[in-house]
């Protein structure tokens, strides 16, 4: 489709120099909160094994345990979906590209698809829609290389492995943090998408914050603005978004 062509071209041609200087710039370690959280394959039935981190009962979510280290600035700026800029504003900034951080609940997930590019490369396409208490159905597109077929490729694609796992395990109703989402627009509609892994100054991240009311990252340890935003999205999601337990 024309949208896919537009999205892939944006992903492939965006240069590091076009990334707007980040508001969450490099800061002192004293201003960073670190977490060693546990990632799961999120099986339907909770595991009997107990996996605890701090006060969060990960056993209630279930699955095999894998530790992931996350660092978040205490003053990480979050852009409400209802405050995202218009297509006209994005055009006025060109060639600079905004890469905001977003907190939202997953309202829908499209199954991953294989796309063959004009250069005969295979790419995996993921589309999700997120919402918060200020806006609905903001689409974020992720372009990822196919799963590595060799150890060498696995090493080269390490930066994408956590993002792929997070996407594979998402469910409707999950509350997530999206970092460094590049904004573009197609036919006047603003959308977001992942940055190319070759861009060194910024990297797109996706972190699962809560599922079915269970926190994976304790909001009490985050900066007050970020913690308040997460709590607002969780409450809104419980009222308006149906969780997918499949």
Q: Does a structural domain hold residue 233?
A: yes
Q: Does a structural domain hold residue 73?
A: no
3-state secondary structure 25-61: CCCCHHHEEEEEEEECCCCCCCCCCCCEECCEEHHHC
Q: Does a structural domain hold residue 163?
A: yes
Q: Does a structural domain hold residue 101?
A: yes
Q: Does a structural domain hold residue 236?
A: yes
Q: Does a structural domain hold residue 55?
A: no
Give the CATH number for residue 139: 2.40.50.140
Total-model pTM? 0.79
Domain count, the chain: 1
Q: Which domain holds residue 203?
A: 2-12+78-240
Residues 26-52 have pLDDT tens digits of: 434 344 444 444 444 443 333 323 333
Q: Does a structural domain hold residue 50?
A: no
Q: Does a structural domain hold residue 33?
A: no
Residues 218-237 have pLDDT tens digits of: 777 788 888 899 999 999 98
Closest alpha carbon to 49 in 38, 39, 28, 64: 64
What tens-digit pLDDT sequence spans the chain (246 residues)? 889 889 989 998 888 888 876 554 443 434 444 444 444 444 333 332 333 333 333 333 444 444 556 777 878 899 999 999 999 999 999 989 999 999 999 999 999 999 988 888 888 999 999 999 997 789 999 999 877 665 545 554 565 677 888 899 899 999 999 999 999 999 999 999 999 988 877 889 999 998 987 888 777 778 888 889 999 999 998 888 876 644
């Amino acid at each position: 489709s024309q949208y896919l062509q537009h999205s892939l071209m944006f992903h492939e041609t965006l240069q590091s120099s076009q990334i707007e200087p980040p508001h969450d710039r490099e800061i002192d370690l004293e201003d960073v909160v670190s977490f060693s959280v546990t990632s799961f394959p999120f099986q339907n039935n909770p595991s009997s094994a107990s996996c605890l981190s701090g006060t969060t009962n990960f056993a209630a979510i279930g699955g095999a345990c894998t530790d992931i280290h996350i660092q978040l600035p205490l003053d990480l700026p979050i852009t409400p979906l209802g405050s995202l800029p218009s297509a006209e504003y994005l055009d006025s900034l060109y060639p600079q590209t905004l890469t905001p951080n977003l907190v939202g609940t997953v309202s829908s997930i499209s199954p991953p698809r294989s796309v063959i590019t004009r250069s005969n490369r295979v790419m995996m396409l993921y589309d999700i829609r997120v919402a918060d208490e200020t806006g609905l159905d903001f689409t974020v597109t992720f372009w990822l290389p196919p799963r590595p077929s060799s150890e060498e490729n696995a090493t080269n694609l390490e930066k994408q492995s956590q993002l792929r796992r997070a996407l594979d395990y998402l469910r409707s109703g999950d509350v997530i943090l999206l970092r460094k989402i590049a904004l573009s627009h197609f036919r006047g509609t603003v959308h977001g998408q992942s940055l190319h892994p070759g861009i060194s100054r910024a990297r797109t991240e996706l972190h699962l914050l809560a599922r079915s009311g269970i926190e994976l990252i304790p909001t009490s340890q985050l900066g007050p603005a970020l913690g308040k935003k997460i709590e607002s999205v969780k409450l809104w999601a419980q009222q308006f978004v149906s969780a997918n337990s499949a």
